Amino acid sequence: MKKQSRSFRLSFFLTLLFSFCQFVGFDPYLSSTFAQSRKRSSNWERFRGPEGSGTATARNLPTQWGDTKNIVWKTKLPGAGTSSPIIIGDRIFLTCYRGYGAPGEPAGDIENLRLDVVCLSRTKGKILWTKTIKPDFPEQATIRDQHGYSSSTPVADKDRVYIFFGKTGVFAFDYDGNQRWHQQVGSKLNGWGSAASPVLYDDLLIVNASVESESLVALDKRTGKIKWQAGGIKEAWNTPLLMKNRRGKMELIVPILQKVLSFSPKTGQKLWTCDTGISWYMVPSAVANNGIVYSIGGRSGDSLAIKTGGSGDVTQSHRLWKLNKGSNVSSPVYHQGKLYWMHEKLGIAYCVDASSGKIIYEERVSRAGQIYAAPVLADGKIHYLARNGRAFVIAADPRYKLLATNQLEERGRFDASPAVADNRLFIRSNKYLYCIGYK
């Protein structure tokens, strides 16, 4: 009985201590060892979350919010950026740039450009640390459409967070902000800037360096050393998709100019190619289900479905359907046999049957404006975020139903894709990071 009593008192004391730490904004998981060992099923550790699908298991997300409604916290960021936040354990990571070229501010001197890696507390939104990186000059003097210099979303595992800053290179930081390694993957520049986000596969960090070297580069995630490199990656601003084909083998999917390519993520060997008929750069990231990959993109606005597991040119044997509807920027989501996306300029929401490519609905959304962010699907709802800070919540259902229209920052700029963890939605603008949820 005495042992049970002491155990109960200790448990009660630790619970009170943890609650007090949260109340005062102190993160009790700042210890690296404890933070790394902590398991949380609601991590959003890469661009578009688990498996890069844009799909979350979260429940009880608010349908409605605004500048003064259902905002758990709001944090001013040290700089602008279009990279999305990632969440692992009790930390949030994102990137910023400052000193030059921020939207709505004087351009200034490019020599003042700085790149920031920012770590925040998920509980309170407090900035825990910021690490500043000087770019590898010369940098692109102007970037079209104000995409900026920090467009690539980080990726994290239990030990480190990995950052891609285009020509300046790839960086690995531990959770206390200590830089572990740095590796460059090419030196070329582009007027559209750099955008693709890195992904992790086993002990490899895989980077789409289409802009920098027209290649895929796989790095040893522990040391940063190059393990393999595959060329021919032309005009591809999308994040590679890791998926299993129907034989259970892993494939690495990258849509490029006029083609979709598949590689072995372990070796970089090219497995198959499929013609798309899209004669434009490819920005949207692909999604997959049951061994089928779905790709949309190009200014021609096309979409197609490809059965994976092939070899060589599979255009005739494995391309299942092609549709002359798509989006040039925003990515799709897959849900219960349907594909959903919104056109980046026309504000048209699509629902397409994934097995046949047949359009189920094609609805124009009022006051949508431009949409660059990839949508997220959670709790039976699809969240589309426009560049003007207007968000549209649409039922994930073959019957079109607009559930809510929400607005943040009337004059803000929102290009980053939302992140989801537990029952919270995280939205980043050029100035702020918002945590949205019921208080």
Q: Is the dihedral of CA 180, 50, 373, 430 positive or negative?
A: negative
| Calpha distance 155→112 (Å, rounded) | 27
Single pTM value for the model: 0.90
What is the mean pLDDT of the segment spanning 146-169?
96
What pLDDT sits at residue 105?
84
Phi then psi for residue 35, to 5 deg, are -65, -40
Check whether 146 has a pLDDT greater than 90: no
Query: Tokens 């890469």 appear where?
Result: 46
Check whether 54 has a pLDDT greater than 50: yes
Check whether 373 has a pLDDT greater than 90: yes
Read off the pLDDT band of 131 (50, 70, 90): very high
What pLDDT sits at residue 104?
83
Reference 435, options 61, 72, 160, 178; nearest CA is 72
Which DSSP string corresponds to 343-408? -TTT-EEEEEETTT--EEEEEEPTT-----SPPEEETTEEEEE-TTSEEEEEESSSS--EEEEEE-
Domain boundaries, the chain: 40-436
Q: Is the dihedral of CA 74, 79, 83, 86 positive or negative?
A: negative
> Which helix or strand (DSSP H or E) is residue 4 part of?
helix 2-23
What fold characterizes domain 40-436? Answer: Methylamine Dehydrogenase; Chain H (2.130.10)
Residue 97 token pair: 């740039």
Helix (H), strand (E) counts: the chain? 4, 33
Q: How many CB atoms lie within 10 A of CB 106?
A: 8
pLDDT, mean over the chain: 91
DSSP 113: -
pLDDT in tens, 347-363: 999 999 999 999 999 99
Read off the pLDDT band of 20 (50, 70, 90): very low
The residues facing 334 across adjacent strands are 339
